[in-house]
A and B are shown apart, each in its own frame.
Chain A
Amino acid sequence: MAAAGGPPSAPRGLTGRGFKPRPAGNGVGAGTVMEPRTLSGTGRPSWGLLLARGHGPLGFSSSSQLLPPENTDPQRIAFLLRKQWTLYSVTPLYRFSNAHLKNYSRLLSAFIAAERQKGWAVEVGVELDIKVAVSSLPDLKGSDQDHAAILVELFSRSPASQKTSEEKLIWSGWFCCVCGDDFFENVPEDFTCLPLFLTNGAESYTAIVGSWFQKTFDCCFHRLAISPLNLSWMAAMWTGCKVDKTASAMELIFSVPGLLQPLDISYAIHPEDAKALWDTVQKTPGEITQEEVDIFMDCLYSHFHRHFKIRLSAAKLVKISTAIASAHCDGIIKFLQSQYLIGVLKLLTELAISQIQ
């Protein structure tokens, strides 16, 4: 499936257009309509790959793995936690090399300086000197085949504080791939697969960094939205995960369609209650099926209906927060637990890959 119904036939990353992350496709426009043939012709959904639950002819037959707690050094990835990251999917990078990271940071800072000469301004009136650091994050890997994650950071040095050499982080973004080899096959030799790109900071910086990567490595960026269906998967999966500390409440936020004024409904559940419910639903530990996720969500919906006479199943699930992470359907995620970071990234890598394929 192409992101938001864009031309699916565009060769991977070989487009030379300007950087323009596509919107998540919430609006109704002629461009967002998928040909009905694509769906009805194949006999199975084009996004059946999602979450590694390939469907049998009638679905409900396969499973997805539960997130295992990972042994990554919590110190080194702590800066990724408790921040809002905006998600993008990226097509494979052409001729990217880990050996040239220093060079890349030099080139990227020169590019940013050149763009500013052309009149691009993020903060008008403030003359900022921007320093770029590109580094590798070897901890963020699911398997040995995965490419190490790449971190891009922009620091500002205002002229006043230059003497003290005080640097302020103004934007950060990282490319990663966790267990991507399960889904990516036959990638040509010169290409590097880092399908997931997460950014934190002003969007104008994202645009400029993205356009440099697009020009340099011939790749293509798209916003990665998370459908309500995948959000309910995440809610169920993360409910079942063990967390050491007293966990915060699980919260589901719904938006009610068809109203003149936007109306959001927030539904908070005590984590232990949610876990107890999930434990009664889940049949095989370590495996989740679509059917189990459906039952879990239907139980929560019918409980809500009993009390408030509102059918949440008719509303759109827009955001979930659990002790593990919180995710918004527009493609915004916040990681909360370092031990589950790799597991969550694996899921997001899968979503990103299914979007670019």
Chain B
Amino acid sequence: MSVLRPFDKLPALNSAILLLVGSDEGLQQKLAEAMLREKKSFRINIRIATSLPLPSEGDHLRPRIDLIAFMIDIKSKYSLRNVEASLAYVDASFFLGKVCFLVTGVGRLNCCSVEMSAIWKLREVYSSPVLFCELELEGIRVATAQRLLRMLEICAGLIPGVSALYFGSLMSRSANF
């Protein structure tokens, strides 16, 4: 029953750590590989979990997590329920810009099993940005990887003058228009 906290560990030098939480491990793997293939000026470490809480025995080995991306597959209601259950194990200060929701399967509304309003609700309640993508398509996967990488860079504090909170509020304001 350990709650993830953003600031209880010291950051490592010039590196950023992303945690991907979602029920489809295959897609997570593909996205992680796409992110690792991108060119970047810092070290990244991607951790994959199907759900939270993370096992507490590995706590002391786990580095500080800079960004959590919750993956929701629009074709599977279970993925949404899984994310909703996992959110309880995230400390409130994470929601100051260090969480995002990644909604995949957007190209196939005919297979849609998740009510879109449930996703808007998540965005409102957790005041975190929602990214839409289709991870099964190569091109969009690469673009999503680049977006996530840029967000991760900001969340890890590697971009001078832009904090995660500033970026998060910028994203939420643009989503309202």
The interface centre, meaning the residue of A34, A40, A55, A226 with most chain B CB atoms within 10 A of its CB, is: A40
**Cβ contact within 8 Å between A59 and B117:** yes
B112 on interface, CB distance cutoff 8 Å: yes
Number of A-B contacts (CB under 8 A): 109
**Cβ contact within 8 Å between B106 and A294:** no
B85 smallest CB distance to A (angstroms): 12
A184 on interface, CB distance cutoff 8 Å: no
Q: Which residue of B lies closest to A55 (CB)?
A: B117
- Chain A residues in 8 Å Cβ range of B175: 40, 43
A93 smallest CB distance to B (angstroms): 25
- Chain A residues in 8 Å Cβ range of B131: 36
**Cβ contact within 8 Å between B117 and A60:** yes
**Cβ contact within 8 Å between A4 and B110:** yes
**Cβ contact within 8 Å between B110 and A39:** no
The one of A24, A30, A55 in contact with B110, judged by C-beta atoms closer than 8 angstroms, is A24
The interface centre, meaning the residue of B23, B76, B137 with most chain A CB atoms within 10 A of its CB, is: B76
B15 smallest CB distance to A (angstroms): 29
- Chain B residues in 8 Å Cβ range of A4: 110
Q: Which residues from 221 to 249 on chain A have a C-beta closer than 8 Å to any C-beta of chain B? A: 225-229, 232
**Cβ contact within 8 Å between B77 and A314:** yes
The one of A26, A47, A59 in contact with B108, judged by C-beta atoms closer than 8 angstroms, is A26
**Cβ contact within 8 Å between A229 and B117:** no
**Cβ contact within 8 Å between A290 and B115:** yes
B109 on interface, CB distance cutoff 8 Å: yes
- Chain B residues in 8 Å Cβ range of A124: none
Interface size grouping (class) on chain B: 35 or more
Interface of A is mostly: loop
Q: Which residue of B lies closest to A230 (CB)?
A: B112
Q: Which residues from 302 to 340 on chain A have a C-beta closer than 8 Å to any C-beta of chain B? A: 311, 313-317, 329
- Give the CA-CA distance A226 to B111 in the complex, in Å: 8
**Cβ contact within 8 Å between A59 and B115:** yes
Q: Given A59-B120, A313-B81, does the pair A36, B106 have CB atoms closer than 8 Å?
A: yes
B128 on interface, CB distance cutoff 8 Å: no
A5 on interface, CB distance cutoff 8 Å: yes
B110 smallest CB distance to A (angstroms): 4
Q: Which residues from 68 to 95 on chain B have a C-beta closer than 8 Å to any C-beta of chain A? A: 75-79, 81
**Cβ contact within 8 Å between A33 and B137:** yes
The one of A28, A32, A47, A57 in contact with B120, judged by C-beta atoms closer than 8 angstroms, is A57
- Chain A residues in 8 Å Cβ range of B23: 314
- Give the CA-CA distance A229 to B80 in the complex, in Å: 13
The one of A39, A47, A228, A311 in contact with B113, judged by C-beta atoms closer than 8 angstroms, is A228
B4 smallest CB distance to A (angstroms): 24
- Chain B residues in 8 Å Cβ range of A33: 106-107, 134, 137, 140
- Give the CA-CA distance A57 to B122 in the complex, in Å: 11
**Cβ contact within 8 Å between B124 and A57:** yes
B33 on interface, CB distance cutoff 8 Å: no
**Cβ contact within 8 Å between B79 and A58:** no
B135 smallest CB distance to A (angstroms): 10
B78 smallest CB distance to A (angstroms): 4
User: Contact flags (1/0) for A20-51 with B, using CB distance below 8 Å?
Assistant: 00001110101011101001100111011000
Residue positions of B touching A, CB distance < 8 A? 23-24, 26, 75-79, 81, 106-118, 120-121, 124, 130-134, 136-137, 139-140, 175-176
Contacts A229-B113, A313-B78 given; 11 further ones with Cβ under 8 A? A1-B109, A5-B107, A25-B108, A25-B109, A44-B120, A57-B124, A58-B121, A229-B114, A294-B115, A297-B77, A314-B79
Residue positions of A touching B, CB distance < 8 A? 1, 4-5, 24-26, 28, 30, 32-34, 36, 39-40, 43-45, 47-48, 55, 57-60, 225-229, 232, 257-258, 290, 294, 297, 311, 313-317, 329
Q: Can you name 10 A-B pairs with beta carbons within 8 Å?
A: A25-B108, A33-B137, A34-B106, A36-B131, A55-B120, A57-B120, A290-B115, A311-B78, A313-B113, A316-B113
Pick the 9 closest A-B CB pairs, nearest first.
A59-B117, A314-B78, A36-B132, A33-B107, A45-B116, A313-B78, A225-B110, A313-B77, A228-B113
